[in-house]
């Protein structure tokens, strides 16, 4: 498997007041990050109306698969437990 390298560059430092810092004594952070990748498995998703953008990985790792399986198991058993606790007492009269 090919090593995927993402090269990122921080841009546009801003203070908490949303202005460019004038000295090194100001508290500031970067407001933008630009990333580029040579790997075709990573896509840039852009919103045409708001201009928002993010990167998404096109493949699913083994860890992602395990998390999805466990969440599906908990979801199925949770729905079954709810249905058993909700429907069985209404369908069967245990007070006879």
- CB of 37 within 8 A of CB of 24? no
Residues 47 and 18 in one domain: yes
pLDDT of 24 reads: 72
Residues 7 and 39 in one domain: yes
Residues 49 and 65 in one domain: no
Q: Give the residue with greater pLDDT, 15 vs 37.
A: 15
Residues 40 and 69 in one domain: no
Place of tokens 């580029």: 36
Q: Of all residues in the chain, what percent carry a pLDDT higher than 90? A: 20
Residues 64 and 74 in one domain: yes
Mean pLDDT score of the chain: 80
Mean pLDDT to the nearest integer, 72-90? 89
Residues 25 and 69 in one domain: no
Residues 1 and 33 in one domain: yes
Q: Of all residues in the chain, what percent carry a pLDDT higher than 70? A: 88
Q: Quote the tokens at residue 4.
A: 């995927």
* Structural domain of 85: 60-96
Residues 54 and 93 in one domain: no
pTM above 0.75, yes or no: no
- CB of 12 within 8 A of CB of 30? yes
Residues 3 and 47 in one domain: yes
Q: Cα–Cα distance between 53 and 38 in angstroms, integer?
A: 18
Mean pLDDT to the nearest integer, 12-16? 79
pLDDT over 90 at 89, yes or no: no
Domain count, the chain: 2
Q: Catalogue the E-assigned strands of 2-89.
A: 6-15, 28-37, 42-46, 53-57
- The DSSP letter of residue 4 is P
Helix (H, G, I), strand (E, B) or coil at 3: coil
């Amino acid at each position: 498997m090919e090593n995927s390298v993402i090269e990122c560059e921080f841009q546009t430092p801003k203070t908490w007041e949303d202005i460019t810092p004038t000295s090194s004594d100001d508290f500031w952070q970067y407001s933008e990050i630009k990333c580029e990748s040579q790997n075709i498995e990573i896509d840039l998703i852009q919103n045409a109306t708001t201009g928002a953008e993010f990167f998404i990985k096109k493949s699913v790792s083994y860890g992602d698969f395990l998390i999805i399986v466990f969440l599906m198991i908990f979801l199925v058993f949770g729905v079954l437990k709810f249905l058993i606790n909700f429907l069985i007492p209404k369908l069967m009269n245990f007070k006879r």
